């Protein structure tokens, strides 16, 4: 059974902060002119529109997701109005869940009780890093302990918890990023998103970049780091639901520099499969096996853009006489000798 997500954008509403990497108008794909506060009427109209669309077969679960901004930083009355607009659809069985995004320091026991009373079951937290120096250099305005506490409190109270992490933030390093990933994995959120840091026009990072005080990651480095972070979550059997920002024309216009690619996540998966295959093919050379099997749905990611991974494996002499099998029954993201 798959999920229909109805997105409601509340760009920058409720957020007095300006994290160094953030220009929320760009990230949500909405221009400043469109950035009027979302009314309950708009929420209802948006839900009606989406519910009226023909649905792909099997899309039985419906989730309303409030994106952007920091939902629990909105005035309480506005939070109530927005959530109440959804609750009637939940009561009617037309919507199954509500998801919000917020900052770790905007979660406490009272907020948790309020969210529970208003049918919110999924909370995504902008964790970004669990290194204090990186948080400070990124002007996040909250502590590591607040992030850890928010994940724990939400989990203890039965919420589904998402954690957003970023690689390439100012002051970050490979070691700090891996330490963050391991600490987040130990806190066991239900799912994770990983975003490479981009220099967005109009953000604080643009200024640093133009002053030569910040150097963004190259695309290759961002892919490699994200792949290593993903491996850590894979080892803990945790879902990585997105890698890279949702591509949009508006975002592309406003990215000044940094590792942007519209298919960033696919490139990371491609690298992960390449590394698994290379390791296994080397072992197979030693034990005489000659058949490599992957999920049929992973074939394109495995081959990589312009068949680059296949060419690299062939260049290493690892594909000589090896039969490749793309199996419809095999689990995604796995590589096996057969």
**Interface with ligand SF4 (CB under 6 A):** 12, 15, 17-19, 22, 24, 69-70, 103, 126
Closest approach of ligand SF4 to the CB of residue 331, in Å: 34
Q: Please check whether residue 226 is in contact with residue 186, taking contact to mean a CB–CB distance below 8 angstroms.
A: no
User: CA dihedral defined by 239, 244, 246, 250, rounded to 10 degrees?
Assistant: 170
Core vs surface per residue 245-269: b (16+ CB within 10 A) or e = beeeeebeebbbbbbbbeebbbbbb
Cα-Cα end-to-end distance for the chain: 30
Report CA-CA distances (Å) from 251 to 12, 220, 258, 281, 301. 16, 20, 12, 40, 24
Q: Please, what is the minimum distance in Å from the beta carbon of residue 200 to ligand SF4?
A: 10
Minimum distance of ligand SF4 from residue 228's CB (angstroms): 24
Q: Which is nearer to ligand SF4, 131 or 298 (CB)?
A: 131
Beta bridge partners of 320: none
Nearer to ligand SF4, 18 or 44 (CB): 18
Closest distance between ligand SF4 and the C-beta of residue 133, in Å? 17
Task: State the Cα–Cα distance between residues 130 and 179, nearest whole angstrom.
Answer: 8
Q: How far is the CB of 142 from ligand SF4 (least distance, A)?
A: 9
Q: Which is nearer to ligand SF4, 4 or 132 (CB)?
A: 132
Secondary structure string (H, E, C) spanning 286-320: HHCCCEEEEEHHHHHHHHCHHHHHHHHHHHCCCCC
Give per-residue burial for 39-66: e unless 16+ CB within 10 Å, then b.
eeeebeebbeebeeeeeeeeeeebbbbb
CB of 26 to ligand SF4, least distance (A): 10
Q: Which residue, 69 or 216, is less far from ligand SF4 as judged by CB?
A: 69
Smallest gap from residue 52 Cβ to ligand SF4 (A): 30
**Secondary structure (3-state) at 171:** coil
Count of Cβ atoms closer than 10 Å to residue 87 Cβ: 16
Answer positive or negative: Cα dihedral of 304, 306, 307, 312: negative
Cβ of residue 126: shortest distance to ligand SF4, in angstroms? 5
The secondary structure of residue 202, as a DSSP letter, is T
Q: Closer to ligand SF4 at the Cβ: 24 or 79?
A: 24
CB nearer ligand SF4, residue 23 or residue 298: 23
Q: Cβ closer to ligand SF4: 18 or 221?
A: 18
Nearer to ligand SF4, 67 or 159 (CB): 67
Question: Shortest gap between Cβ of 140 and ligand SF4 (angstroms)?
Answer: 7
In degrees and rounded to multiples of 5, residue 261 shows phi and psi of -150, 135
Is 237 exposed, middle or buried, given 0-12, 13-18 or 19+ CB atoms closer than 10 A?
A: exposed
Question: CB-wise, 24 or 330, nearer to ligand SF4?
Answer: 24
Backbone angles phi, psi at 139, to 5 degrees: 55, 45
């Amino acid at each position: 059974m798959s999920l229909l997500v109805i997105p409601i954008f509340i760009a920058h509403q409720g957020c007095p902060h300006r994290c160094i990497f953030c220009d929320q108008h760009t990230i949500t794909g909405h221009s400043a002119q469109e950035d009027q506060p979302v009314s309950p009427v708009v929420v209802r109209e948006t839900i009606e529109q989406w519910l009226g669309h023909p649905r792909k077969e099997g899309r039985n679960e419906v989730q309303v997701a409030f994106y952007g901004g920091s939902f629990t930083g909105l005035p309480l009355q506005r939070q109530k109005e927005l959530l109440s607009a959804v609750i009637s659809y939940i009561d009617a069985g037309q919507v199954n869940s509500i998801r919000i995004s917020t900052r770790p320091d905007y979660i406490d026991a009272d907020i948790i009780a309020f969210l529970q009373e208003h049918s919110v079951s999924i909370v995504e937290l902008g964790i970004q890093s669990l290194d204090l120096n990186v948080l400070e250099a990124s002007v996040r305005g909250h502590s590591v302990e607040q992030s850890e506490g928010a994940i724990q409190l939400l989990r203890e109270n039965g919420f589904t918890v998402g954690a957003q992490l970023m690689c390439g933030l100012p002051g970050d390093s490979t070691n700090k990023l891996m330490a963050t990933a391991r600490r987040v994995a130990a806190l066991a959120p239900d799912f994770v998103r990983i975003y490479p840091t981009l220099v967005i026009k109009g953000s604080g990072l643009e200024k640093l970049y133009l002053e030569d005080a910040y150097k963004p990651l190259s695309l290759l480095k961002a892919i490699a780091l994200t792949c290593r972070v993903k491996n850590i979550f894979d080892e803990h059997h945790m879902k990585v639901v997105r890698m890279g920002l949702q591509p949009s024309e508006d975002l592309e216009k406003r990215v000044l520099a940094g590792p942007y690619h519209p298919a960033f996540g696919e490139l990371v998966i491609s690298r992960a499969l390449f590394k698994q295959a290379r390791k296994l093919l080397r072992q197979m050379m030693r034990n005489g096996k000659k058949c490599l099997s992957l999920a049929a749905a992973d074939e394109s990611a495995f081959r990589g853009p312009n068949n680059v991974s296949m060419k690299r494996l062939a260049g290493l002499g690892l594909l000589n006489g090896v039969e490749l099998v793309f199996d419809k029954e095999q689990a995604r993201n796995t590589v096996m000798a057969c």
